[in-house]
Amino acid sequence: MAVRKLKIAAAGLGRMGKRHAMHFLNRTPRAELVAAFTPDETEFQWARLNLEPHGVKLFSDYDAMLEQTEGLQAVVIATVTTVHAEEALKAMAKNLHVLCEKPLSTSVEITRKVVEAAQAKPHLKVMCGFSRRFDASYRDAYEKMDAGVIGRPTIIRSQTCDKHDPSGFFVDYAAFSGGCFVDMSVHDIDLALWFFGEDRLVKSVSAAGVVAVAPGLKQHQDYDNAVGIVEFHNGKVAYFFCSRMMAHGQEDTTEVIGTEGKLVVNGNPQANLVNTYTTTGINREIPPHYYGRFEHAFVSEANEFTAACLDGTKLPLKITGALRAVQIGSYLQEAVRTGKKLNFDETERRVEKATL
């Protein structure tokens, strides 16, 4: 019996694109990376050295890749955010499974289109890559909650905090990132939906932000530190902190607080298991970037997406969740930009006054 492998193509070979390509090339036994696309010349040269020798066909045109790659079954999309949706739609039109880096789009409307397209083709596996869903620690926490260890989950605190990058890269990036809540907290929002239940409706949203280290963000109406509260109907509250100002490294921490206990994920960030004792005390280092924290989650993501495509099994997260996360991220973004608290009725329709 020959082993069936998923023929997949990689779109986009930037920082995260390269990683996805390498994961599917080397760390996803049931997948075969057959093609890769990038419009960028430097990335293309990288692919010549690192992908082509392994039999990966290279393209500088996305459509050409879809059309000319024989037996292609799936695409992993990690191009710039602005083309995610278009590329996902084209892939679905060709009946290809899609694993798309988050977000599908920073626009709720565009995201909705992708989600609807996916829903129209239920035989396709279409997933937006919320990597934390594949992280062993988050999964362990979820299972413990699900087993009743903390009673009824009631409050979630979750933060996405990046190491400060003084190069100013993220200032330019803010022009099209959708803003800090859409770009960063979207992960925390997705976690809240996961732990509270995906059908949870929003009752109110408020937020506050500051520009402390990157004045250039002001021109994009963005913030380098922001705090937001999302109140759900039926007595649940999630609150979020996102920051690009951490001196020490990446610090993504989540607390799920229930009526009978609390689960904390990554309350004590660490790069590895080493502690250094010197005259200044005891020191431990922290991963500088999200990949240092979530590398294995990304690999699990690739493998589970592959298994779902090959075996027709269920994905661990629904594509509708991607829409909800961006939607709530947009609420937070509006709240922080306008300084207003947003209120919603029990069907999550906007209302002027708070409903108590």
Identify residues 208-267 at the interface with a copy of itself (CB under 8 A).
Answer: 208-213, 225, 227-229, 231, 235-237, 239, 241, 243, 245-249, 251, 257, 259-267
Phi, psi at 28, each rounded to 5° = -130, 85
In the window 54-73, what residues touch a copy of itself (CB under 8 A)? 54
Judge contact between 23 and 12, C-beta under 8 A.
no
Nearest approach in angstroms of CB 339 to a copy of itself is 3
178 is a site residue for a copy of itself (CB under 8 A): no
What's the rounded Cα separation, in Å, for the pair 250 and 163? 5
**Closest to a copy of itself by CB, 137 or 320:** 137
Residue 36 Cβ vs a copy of itself, minimum distance, rounded to whole Å: 16
Min separation Cβ 61 and a copy of itself, Å: 24
Q: Stretches 76-84, 100-108, 276-284, 304-312: which one binds a copy of itself (CB under 8 A)? A: 276-284
Interface residue with a copy of itself among 33, 286, 302, 325 (CB under 8 A) is: 286
Under rule CB under 8 A, residue 351 binds a copy of itself: no
The pair of three-digit structure tokens given for residue 219, joined into one six-digit string: 């021109």
Q: Using CA atoms, how far apart are residues 20 and 12, in angstroms rounded to an integer?
A: 9
Write down the least CB distance from residue 105 to a copy of itself, Å: 26
166 lies in the binding site for a copy of itself (CB under 8 A):
no
Instruction: State which residue, 151 or 197, has the beta carbon closest to a copy of itself.
Output: 151
- What region does 99 belong to: left with phi over 0, alpha with psi -120 to 50, or beta? beta
Instruction: Tell me if 187 sits within 8 A of 251, measured CB to CB.
Output: no
Please give the C-alpha separations between residue 242 and each of 81, 89, 174, 207, in angstroms, as whole numbers: 20, 30, 14, 11
Which residues have C-beta within 8 Å of that of residue 137, sequence separation ≥ 6? Answer: 265, 266
Is the bond leading into 103 cis (omega within 30 degrees of zero)? yes
Of 6 and 323, the one with the shorter C-beta distance to a copy of itself is 6
Q: Is 41 in the site for a copy of itself (CB under 8 A)?
A: no
Q: Is 307 in the site for a copy of itself (CB under 8 A)?
A: no
- Cβ proximity to a copy of itself: between 264 and 315 the closer is 264
- What Cα–Cα distance (Å) separates residue 295 from each residue in 262, 289, 303? 26, 10, 13
Tokens matching residue 347: 């069907």
Q: Which residues pair with 218 in a beta bridge?
A: none
CB of 110 to a copy of itself, least distance (A): 27
User: What is the per-residue binding string for a copy of itself in 81-100, x denoting contact by CB under 8 A?
Assistant: --------------------
Binding positions for a copy of itself, 310-349, rule CB under 8 A: 337-341, 343
State the Cα–Cα distance between residues 81 and 70, nearest whole angstrom: 27
Q: Which member of 40, 86, 165, 285 binds a copy of itself (CB under 8 A)?
A: 285
Token representation of residue 177: 């990132």
CB 59 within 8 A of CB 75: no
Contacts of a copy of itself in 93-132 (CB under 8 A): none
**Residue 249 or residue 329: which is nearer to a copy of itself going by CB?**
249
